[in-house]
Amino acid sequence: MLYPGRMTVADSHRAVEAVWQIESARVIAALARMVNDIGLAEELAQDALVAALEEWPRKGVPDNPGAWLTLTAKHRAIDQFRRRDTYQRKLQELGRDMELRQESAEAELDDALDDHIGDDLLRLIFTACHPALPVEGRLALTLRLLGGLSTAEIARAFLVPEPTVGQRISRAKRTLADKRIPIELPPPAELPARLASLLEVIYLIFNEGYAATAGEDWIRPSLCQEAMRLGRVLVGLMPAEPEVHGLLALMEIQASRIPARTARDGTPILLLDQDRSRWDRLLVRRGLDALRRAEELGTLGPYGLQAAIAACHARTLTPQATDWERIAALYRLLAHLTPSPVVELNRAVAVGMAYGPARGLEIVDSLRDEPALRGYAHLPAVRGDLLAKLGRAEEAAAEFRRAAELTRNVRERDLFLERAAAL
Amino acid sequence: MRYLVTLKVAAQPDGPPPADLMEAIFKLGQEATEAGALLDNSGLAPSSEGARVEVSGGRLTVSDGPFAEAKEVISYALYEVRSKEEAVEWTARFVKLHRDLWPGWEGQADVLRLFGPEDFAPPA
């Protein structure tokens, strides 16, 4: 029996799967280093899971389940290589003698578990987020290999059919194999770009969930949790990278608002209208801690700056007390680092709050011909808000109606139309 | 989803916990943190340093510890995990350390789910 007590077969299978969720990424990572093929590593790890599902419910969970899974999968790898006629070729590819490896497998396992686990995991994450892969492939592969999510769960989370996710994953694995992308840490010269690609994937996972918190299906918001979990894992693996802490800070502070950002009927509640007592204090505290670590490590990057902006709100008990001058200054830094019309639009809001609507409007007007903002509902919405504050009601109403036409979000459309009608 | 785990001791040998146990607990805590599962944890001072505020029969009473129960709560941990089973697995690892490294120790850990935003979601 797995754990003595009142456990059914289904219970014990779920318990094995929980161990799998905790250990799978590290098992796959250790195997990937051994066989130098992510797809094969995952298959072997899955075989080990099947073995665990057979054995653990009878014999109990071994003391070190991660080591058990890794060792079992390694033995399968050796068996497979033996059977395959590609044995010799694989051996040459690996440049190592598998027979010898089998004898030393136990010793090597300790080695693998103690010294390389961190590096193995990092190699796996960097490979899954390799820029040679299309973004959706990176997302699916990361959730699958690092999150232990099934294809069905990923499909549900991204609202796409299961076969589509399956194809994305297999195509991504094939691309890695075809392009002979080595499973290794990026060379120092490539690190900044590769790290950016990795952080982007995690933040995309987060936003996919964050954008959907009004939905009925809670697996989507659970993507926020998965992204934060990956962020926390990454902080453990790369504790010296300020942007890793910065991203975690940003996600935790944003997620702290989830309990307050929708009304009971699902209507979104804007940041300044939220009941701040409903913000998740634990996430706020953790987010601020992560931001402080990012600041201590060096200059803030784009994620760190966005976290610093979010922190301005998180630290403030009432919206009236918000330090808009600081937020406007942080947006200026962010615009300098990552120039974008959307950042400028956000800066316009902050400037309008800090220095009066006329100053904000100047910035918005300079963005009106920006091609990237054509069709972007928030441009007229921000302009409408500033015009309303300046007492130019008719122009403001027209802007809100324009914003209502542009948005594809029904709830947001209602909100804009309400504002137009109220003027 | 979040789980609060409280550890209660029923019986333990005299003297401080073995250094091996403390080291193993620290290592497990680090592992759970690096796995992104452990959000917060702490040991708790004996209830003799605490107090109890109680309502009974319409009367509010405040009494200083120690509390009369046989089992003292000695630590808590807050996990964010994907399933109850995962919280149970981390807890089982934690309790196992006590069994293996402090012979004679007896106790229990309760695994309780915290309500989250999902519990207050609008009706579908």
A262 to B80: CB separation less than 8 angstroms, yes or no:
no
Selecting from B88, B117, B122 the residue whose C-beta is nearest the C-beta of A259 gives: B117
Residue B78: both structure tokens together: 């807050």
Element (H, E) at B41: strand B38-43
What is the domain extent for residue B88?
A: 2-118
- Contact predicate B38/B25, CB 8 Å: no
pLDDT at site A133:
95
Is the predicted pLDDT of residue A216 greater than 90, yes or no?
no
> Which value does ipTM take for this structure?
0.88
pLDDT of residue B97: 95
Local structure of A237: helix, strand or coil: helix
At B5-62, the pLDDT tens digits run 999 999 989 999 999 999 999 999 999 999 999 999 999 999 999 999 999 999 999 9
With bands split at pLDDT 50, 70 and 90, how would you rate the model's confidence at A3? Answer: low
Which of B88, B117, B124 is closest, CB to CB, to A258? B117
What pTM, to 2 d.p., does this model score? 0.88
DSSP structure class, residue B102: S
Q: Is B31 on the interface with A (CB under 8 A)?
A: no
Q: Cβ of B36 and A233 within 8 Å?
A: yes
- Select the more confidently predicted residue: A10 or A243: A243
Instruction: Indicate if the pLDDT at residue A8 is higher than 80.
Output: no
pLDDT in tens, A223-277: 899 999 999 999 999 999 999 999 999 999 999 998 888 887 777 788 999 999 9
The answer to whether residue B85 sits within a structural domain is yes
Q: A262 or B111: which carries more pLDDT confidence?
A: B111
Does any CB of chain A come closer than 8 Å to the CB of residue B37? yes
CA angle A258, A268, A404 (to 5 degrees): 145
Which residue is listed with tokens 């910035």?
A363
Q: What percent of chain A has pLDDT over 90?
A: 64
pLDDT-above-70 percentage for chain A: 88
State mean pLDDT over A184-201.
Answer: 92
Q: Do B82 and A222 touch (CB under 8 A)?
A: yes
pLDDT band at A93 (very low <50, low <70, confident <90, very high): low
Residue B16 lies in a domain: yes
Is residue A157 scored above 90 in pLDDT? no
List chain B residues with CB under 8 Å of A286: 39
- pLDDT band per the 50, 70, 90 thresholds, residue A61: confident
Residue B123 within a domain: no
> Is there a contact between B62 and B53 (Cβ–Cβ < 8 Å)?
yes
Whether B124 is in a domain gets the answer: no
The mean of the pLDDT values for chain B is 92
In a domain, B11, yes or no: yes
In a domain, B57, yes or no: yes
For the CA atoms of chain A, what is the radius of gyration? 25
Q: What is the pLDDT of residues A366-381, one digit of tens each?
A: 998 899 888 899 999 9
Q: Residue B22 maps to which CATH number?
A: 3.30.70.1060
The number of domains in chain B is: 1
Residue B95 domain flag:
yes
Q: What is the pLDDT of residue A96?
A: 54
